[in-house]
Chain A
Amino acid sequence: MKTSLSKQQDNRKEIELFIGPQHPASGHMRFIGRVDGDIFTNFIPDPGWVHRGIEKIAENRKWIQIIPLVERAAILDAANMNIGYVIALEKLLDIEPPPRAQYLRTLLCEINRITSHLYGFGIAGIMIGSSTFYMWPFADREPLIDIAQLITGARLTYSYMIPGGVRRDLPQGFKEKALKALKYIERRLNNDYFRIFFDNPVTKARYQEVGVLKRDDAIRLGIVGPNLRASNVKYDVRKVEPYAAYPELEFDIAYEKEGDCYARLLVRVEEIRQSIKIIRQILDALPQGPIIHKKYEKLVSLRKLEEYQKTGIFGLPAIFTVLRPPAGEVISRVEAARGELIFHIISTGELRPYRLRMVTPSFRNIVLFRELISGARVMDFPAIYGSIDYFPPESDR
């Protein structure tokens, strides 16, 4: 006896639910879930829709040309992607940037961390239906992007760090502008954001005790960044293996105990506060001196040197076009906004790297979808996704 198609479906207990791939939230990404009633019985993330092959392209680029390339992994966290690669390259070249350059690098990284977290808040807001909290953090990124633009000359793709230092010094009157922007963002964060979103009972109802990640699970799965710290693990590469100017700066690791969606959000709030604290310290204690390693300072033309002394814009020395780091293998670890970023580079002493491996934080956090959403309700999916702050282009690379 034939049964109609709809009848067949009626008999099926579970249905398959596809989410994406057309930009479900923060980027192109597909999820395949099996739904029993209102509960996901199985949930599989299916990444790869924005794969650009950065690792492969890097094998065809000169060392210096990879700087803008790795930034494209996470465009809103460009400075942190940049510093990871440059630190690895400096390890190969065996040079150490001067203190002022270290501080300037840290400054840009922290500005970027704030803008990246604000972006994450916006996405989290719209995913649970708060369009006000989508607009506010996105708009409030603007003052910070503005001050980053003053340092680097670009809004998002800074390409600011080069082996041996940074490309530009701070412009005149930067400190006052930066302090104003920090004050603004601090007030918005501590008053307005809490009133409209974090203390809002709707947010709490959607976020608290949803998507709980236990401490042991977080460690077992190798979760990184704020998601790990929200499960009561105090692990931050800036403290564990300090780089740039972090050893000299005072800040605390933000962490929460609960491990639910709300805790993940609060960790980011606290991280922004810590970043503000770090930027203030940098602005106060910025050491004087050159922004580029002595070795390279001697190599630029006289006309460029004059410009550098006058305006603080350092030209690239011609040697960067034929940079050949000695053969070797290095690993660098930095704390990007979404967690630990690892570069593993193999050099054979050629113009181009033999292999560049880039392990991004979102790539390591992707397993959370499977872990947290299997067993959760369908309506908890946006809440959990928003709280993870997952960024597909960063994961796909």
Chain B
Amino acid sequence: MIIKIINNFYHHIRAILIGLKYLLSPGIRITLKYPDELPILPENYRGMLKLNNELCISCGLCSQICPAGAINLKLFEHEQTKQVGRHPEVDYKRCIFCGFCIDICPSKALELTRIHDAAFYVEDELYYEVNRLIIGPKIDPPCMRSKYVISEIDEVRGIVYRNA
């Protein structure tokens, strides 16, 4: 009985001490202070899409594979080059960022951007017509002080964020 009480007391103290250790030791934060800190995502991150209309051969495979039915093909004439073709339009209300369209595109006309956190003022803006898809998504840094960071895996602290 006595042994049990002592044992319990010991383990209570240990739990409190380890909690205090992490409470008081500086710099063990694993949370990213988004949007003050914006992560630079890895090269192959599956974000929003960008279209190169000169490479697109209008095959329609992207719209056929899309699991969410987010892609429609639309007849499009480029303003400067006057190139005509059926090119994809993406509805980001439906897109699930699976990257199937990019992977199946035989001519590499669709490419990944690492942007996933664009915000829109109007619902209709979520529908990317061909000309906007050619430009690709753009985001402004959400606040003036936000800076870019690189996340690195660390043995001691899990993840550390370094200024880019």
Contact = CB atoms under 8 A, between A and B. Distances in A.
Counting from the closest, the 5 A-B pairs by CB-CB distance are A65-B67, A301-B106, A153-B46, A321-B64, A201-B8
Interface stretch (B12-20, B76-84, B124-132, B133-141): B12-20
Contact of A154 (B11, B97, B156): B97
Instruction: Name which of B18, B153, B157 has the most chain A CB atoms within 10 A of its CB.
Output: B153
Contacts of A180: 153-155
A171 interface: yes
Instruction: Name which of B22, B42, B44 has the most chain A CB atoms within 10 A of its CB.
Output: B44
Contacts of A318: 59, 61, 104, 106
Nearest to A315: B103
Instruction: Name which of B11, B15, B107, B154 has the most chain A CB atoms within 10 A of its CB.
Output: B15
Interface in A116-147: 132, 139-140, 142-143, 146-147
Nearest to A195: B18
B90 interface: no
B3 interface: no
A173 to B, nearest CB: 11
B38 interface: no
A303 interface: yes
Nearest to A197: B15
Instruction: Name which of A61, A147, A192, A318 has the most chain B CB atoms within 10 A of its CB.
Output: A318
B61 A321 contact: yes
B153 A184 contact: yes
A109 interface: no
A157 interface: yes
B159 A146 contact: yes
Given A140-B158, A321-B65, A303 B107 contact: yes
Given A199-B15, A318-B61, A318-B106, A68 B43 contact: no
Nearest to A183: B155
B105 A315 contact: yes
Interface in A143-161: 143, 146-147, 149-150, 152-154, 157, 159
B15 A153 contact: no
Interface string B18-39: 1100100000001100000000
Given A159-B98, A301-B107, A315-B105, A65 B155 contact: no
B18 A196 contact: yes
Contacts of A153: 42, 44-46, 99, 112
A315 B153 contact: no
Contacts of A316: 65, 100, 103-104
B158 A64 contact: no
A345 to B, nearest CB: 17
Contact of A304 (B11, B43, B106, B154): B106
A300 interface: yes
A184 B14 contact: no
A227 B79 CA distance: 63
Contacts of B98: 68, 157, 159
Contacts of B44: 153, 168, 171, 311, 313
A171 B42 CA distance: 10
Interface residues of A, number: 55
B72 interface: no
B103 A68 contact: no
A378 B136 CA distance: 55
Contacts of A303: 106-108
A333 interface: no
Contacts of A317: 104
A157 B12 CA distance: 39
Contacts of A147: 153
A320 B100 CA distance: 10
Contacts of B42: 149-150, 153, 171
B158 A139 contact: yes
Given A142-B158, A316-B100, A318-B61, A149 B67 contact: no
A389 B155 CA distance: 28
A93 to B, nearest CB: 17
B58 interface: no
Given A150-B42, A192-B18, 15 more contacts: A61-B67, A64-B100, A68-B67, A68-B100, A149-B41, A153-B44, A167-B103, A180-B153, A184-B154, A184-B155, A187-B155, A196-B19, A199-B11, A304-B108, A313-B103
B151 interface: yes
B12 A200 contact: yes
B96 interface: yes
A334 interface: no
A320 B65 contact: yes
A69 B67 contact: yes
15 contacts: A68-B96, A68-B98, A68-B100, A142-B158, A143-B153, A143-B159, A149-B45, A153-B42, A154-B46, A177-B153, A180-B154, A192-B22, A196-B15, A200-B15, A321-B61
